[in-house]
Amino acid sequence: MKLAVVILAAGQGKRMKSDLPKVLQPLAGQPLLGHVVSRARQLEPTSIHVVYGHGGERVREALAGESLQWALQAEQLGTGHALMQAMPRIGDDELVLVLYGDVPLIDPETLKRLIASTGPTAMALLTVMLDDPQGYGRIVRNTRGVIQKIVEQKDASRAQLRIREGNSGIMAAPAGLLRRWLGKLKNANAQGEYYLTDVIAMAVKDKIKVVPLLAARLAEVLGVNDKLQLAELEALHRAERARELMLAGATLADPARLDVRGRVTVGRDVFIDANVLFEGEVSLGDRVRVGPNVVLRNVRIGADSVVHPNSILEQSEVGPGCLIGPYARLRPGTRLGREVHIGNFVELKKAVIDDGSKANHLTYLGDATVGKGVNVGAGTITCNYDGVNKSQTVIEDGAFIGSGNMLVAPIRIGKEASTGAGSTLTRDAPDGQLTVARSKQLSIAGWKRPTRKTKA
């Protein structure tokens, strides 16, 4: 059967006390709804439908880059009513999987097992065992352990309130059956809403098998209603990502102090120190070492490279055996060859630096191409911007750039050229020669510093 995923995301989230719609609250740098969509995509569905309401166009704009089908729930009349809004665009021959925009940590492997339990005469329901089931609908079974219905907290009897098996809300069912049941929903309950959970009793009455699947981990089914719960899920997400990295072979100095806001792949014997932040796509080669307080954003780092503390690398490629930092910044478009040294308080932007070159101190190289075996002295700056245009600096193989140089682009420093310390170069420096560009040093005899007049 073709799979249609429906994500219910129309809730207002009053307890968030925020102008931002609940499903757009950030978890690991991404909206809650974005996490759910990403996990749904791993199931390779035919379509993903998002039922939205509060936040309206803001929700749609936030996920404008996704291929989604949108259904508006103009009035908040319950989960059953919400699902009804998406059903007109789903064929009777499809299988419907219902997810929630504020339940972001559901495991795709769990969903695959849930889907596998569903068929033309069977639906599947994800349940969870809870030490404290407060707020959850209760799974009511008969004496043989077969599910009979779900009772919401506000409608439950005292005996039912003692049931520890709770409803996650996540279910899968054939669309044709689901459509029929949704058409029979009533709102005669404590909240005056059309409960999606009522379809369970209808399935039982129609002799459709209800297959329960118990969630392996509570974190999978936890929703978000306030900022406290959001912080709790953030901690669970961190732990989940840290666990994945350690199982992949990385050594973490402190798994509790690692933030992964994207996808990280690691080679063998990688070491990651405390308070490291990963964003986007990050790849770390074998034996890479990442120091504390480092930010890596959309970066590839080659084997045996070291990123020293307090460095920031974004949209850059680092070759094998490089040394970066401490306090270095690699901005977008930077590419480093093998065994390049970029030291403390060095900033690179759209800089391509070839094998064995070094810029170890207090330097800015922007819009620059640097050859092999180049030494860039402390305090050197490529003056690449005239207020309108960005111009290129080219430094050829084996050049030696003296300390405190101002290289006014566009400019070329030749192969094996040297430049004198304190030079401001506005013209190309030829191959193999020393180029010095300093103003004449003068000492003025008899000159005195200005002094302040004594107040009367």
**Alpha-carbon Rg for the chain in angstroms:** 31
Structure tokens at 113: 């097992």
CB 296 within 8 A of CB 313: yes
Q: Which of 420, 384, 27, 59 is nearest to 223 (CA)?
A: 27
Q: Which of 374, 370, 359, 369 is nearest to 391 (CA)?
A: 369
Residue type, 389: N
The residues annotated as belonging to the active site are 361
Structure tokens at 241: 């990502």
Burial 109-140 (b: 16+ CB within 10 A, else e): ebbeebbebbeeebbbbbbbebeebeebbbbb
Q: Which of 27, 15, 28 is nearest to 101 (CA)?
A: 27
Backbone dihedral angles phi then psi of residue 273, each to the nearest 5 degrees: -85, -175
Q: How many angstroms from the chain centroid is the CA of residue 230?
A: 15
- Token pair 């050859």 in the structure block, residue: 371
